[in-house]
């Protein structure tokens, strides 16, 4: 009985002292620790590690259930993050561009150019980003509308670089070629009121390549640029030359063409073989009239020239965006295109300046080239709107475009018929006329003008003259742009 009493006393003391010892943490592992060891860093870390291991074991034991509970919120958050990378985006801006357009004819060497053409342009761009499987992609569409600002200068130059063939003179007695009559003209006019319309559509792989903070998006698409330019109040000088001489100093001097007309309808051009020889009328007939051919000064009222130009075709581009921080970024674009080229012009080939279409220059898709460059700095105004400042540059070029000249049949045939019938018509004396058309086309006694018109009708079927690989043309522009970008 005494033994049992001691046993229960030991149990009661153990129950009484055990909570106190556990609360102090002294007997956590069942072994006594000195105060120094108890507060030693390594000892504390080891105890902490044991707690971690215990927790890890607990997590492992309940991992399937626990993961099932926490994975759903994490997946929702990831989807929300992805949604920020997909959806619609929209941007719009205004820009000021300065450009020039030039084309040169390889045969006649004529050059026409519009210089310092200023454009005020409004553009809008919209797109949609989406996930194409596991690959982010985007489609975009752009539209730009421009109006010419102020006035610019047009120069039509057939003086500094070549000229155009008028006719060839032949000695009626020997059938020897005397020489060619060549036309030159220089006109300068004012261009204003032009318009521009462009659009593009593209497909790209969004941020397909990454290089540090830079993200690169390759894309392909189709771009079209159309502009219309007009020339008003055109002043010019036309000179028909008969022969040219090169002086010892290297200077070239050309005589203006002087044509003598006789009563028998024959004509003679005054010609000299050297710069010191006189220009004399050779023959026994008295001259009926003398003229200077196409040498005269002129002023063309109203619209003298108008051109409608289109560059359109596929392109490949690379967009690069660099994120400076969460509020600022810079982006650039390099675009290479292979467009087609079409330029339709209205030029005055008649004395009344009326003409529906004078020339048309064309080159098929892939014949021209386009280089486009863009650089922007962007800064956030809100979470969804950014302000951008940028520079733009475009360079279009084509070499060897085919040229068509549309002649007015009524204009030439009216002259032809008046020469045949003769008489005074609308204040112009056409002479005595010819008995037959064959007489008028006689190479010796006929009308050289009528012969030239007949030859023109033959060499230009349907009164359309075609020249292959005749035109080289360039258009280049540089601009400053301010815009807003928004994402949804």
CA–CA distances in Å: residue 104 to residues 108, 127, 305, 470? 9, 39, 16, 8
More confidently predicted of 286 and 155: 155
Residue 465: pLDDT above 60? yes
3-state secondary structure of 314: strand
What per-residue confidence (pLDDT) applies to 329?
95
- What is residue 351's three-state secondary structure? coil
Sign of the dihedral through C-alpha 408, 414, 420, 423: negative
Number of H helices, E strands in the chain: 7, 22
| Total-model pTM | 0.76
Domains of the chain are 90-257+292-405+465-487 (2.40.128.90), 408-459 (no CATH)
Query: If we measure between CA atoms, which residue out of 121, 134, 115 comes closest to residue 92?
Result: 121
Q: Are 76 and 63 in contact (CB under 8 A)?
A: no
38 strand-pairing partners: none
Confidence class of residue 384 from pLDDT cuts 50, 70 and 90? very high
90's tokens: 């929209």
Selection from 473, 299, 217 nearest residue 370 by Cα:
473
Q: How confident is the model at residue 420 (pLDDT cuts 50, 70, 90)?
A: very high
CB-CB neighbours of 347 under 10 Å: 18
Q: Dihedrals φ, ψ of 444, to 5°?
A: -95, -50
Task: Give residue 135's pLDDT.
Answer: 93
The pLDDT, as a whole number, for residue 282 is: 67
Per-residue pLDDT, 283: 66
In 24-157, beta strands by DSSP E: 87-105, 111-132, 135-149, 152-157
8 Å CB contact between 465 and 459: yes
Dmax over CA atoms of the chain, in Å, equals 176
Burial class (CB in 10 A: 0-12, 13-18, 19+), 424: exposed
Lowest mean pLDDT: which of 21-35, 190-204, 419-433? 21-35
């Amino acid at each position: 009985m005494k033994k049992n009493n001691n046993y229960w006393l030991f149990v009661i003391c153990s129950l009484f002292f055990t909570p106190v010892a556990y609360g102090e943490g002294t007997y956590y592992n069942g072994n006594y620790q000195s105060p120094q060891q108890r507060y030693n860093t390594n000892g504390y870390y080891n105890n902490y590690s044991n707690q971690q291991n215990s927790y890890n074991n607990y997590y492992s034991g309940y991992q399937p259930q626990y993961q099932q509970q926490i994975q759903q919120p994490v997946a929702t958050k990831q989807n929300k993050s992805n949604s920020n990378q997909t959806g619609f985006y929209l941007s719009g801006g205004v820009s000021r561009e300065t450009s020039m357009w030039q084309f040169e004819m390889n045969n006649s060497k004529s050059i026409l150019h519009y210089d310092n053409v200023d454009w005020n342009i409004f553009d809008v761009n919209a797109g949609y980003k989406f996930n194409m499987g596991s690959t982010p992609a985007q489609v975009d569409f752009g539209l730009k509308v421009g109006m010419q600002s102020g006035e610019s200068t047009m120069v039509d130059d057939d003086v500094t670089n070549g000229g155009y063939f008028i006719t060839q003179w032949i000695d009626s007695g020997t059938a020897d070629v005397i020489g060619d009559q060549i036309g030159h003209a220089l006109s300068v006019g004012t261009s204003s009121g032009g318009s521009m319309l462009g659009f593009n559509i593209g497909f790209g792989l969004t941020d397909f390549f990454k290089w540090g903070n830079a993200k690169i998006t390759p894309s392909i698409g189709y771009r079209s640029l159309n502009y219309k330019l007009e020339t008003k109040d055109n002043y010019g000088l036309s000179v028909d030359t008969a022969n040219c001489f090169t002086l010892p100093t290297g200077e070239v001097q050309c005589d203006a063409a002087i044509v003598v007309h006789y009563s028998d309808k024959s004509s003679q051009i005054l010609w000299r073989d050297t710069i010191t020889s006189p220009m004399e009328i050779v023959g026994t007939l008295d001259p009926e009239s003398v003229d200077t051919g196409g040498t005269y000064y002129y002023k063309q009222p109203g619209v003298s020239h108008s051109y409608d130009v289109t560059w359109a075709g596929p392109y490949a581009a690379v967009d690069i965006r660099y994120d400076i921080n969460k509020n600022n970024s810079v982006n650039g674009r390099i675009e290479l295109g292979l467009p087609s080229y079409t330029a339709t012009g209205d030029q005055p080939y008649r004395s009344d300046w009326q003409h529906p279409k004078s020339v048309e220059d064309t080159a098929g898709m892939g014949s021209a080239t386009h280089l486009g460059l863009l650089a922007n700095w962007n800064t956030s105004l809100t979470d969804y709107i950014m302000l951008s400042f940028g520079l733009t540059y475009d360079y279009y070029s084509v070499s060897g475009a085919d040229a068509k000249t549309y002649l007015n049949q009524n204009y030439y045939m009216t002259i032809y018929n008046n020469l045949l019938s003769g008489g005074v018509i609308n204040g112009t004396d056409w002479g005595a006329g010819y008995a037959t058309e064959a007489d008028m086309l006689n190479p010796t006694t006929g009308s050289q003008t009528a012969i030239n018109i007949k030859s023109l009708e033959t060499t230009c079927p349907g009164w359309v003259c075609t020249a292959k690989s005749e035109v080289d043309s360039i258009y280049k522009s540089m601009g400053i742009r301010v815009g807003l970008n928004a994402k949804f």
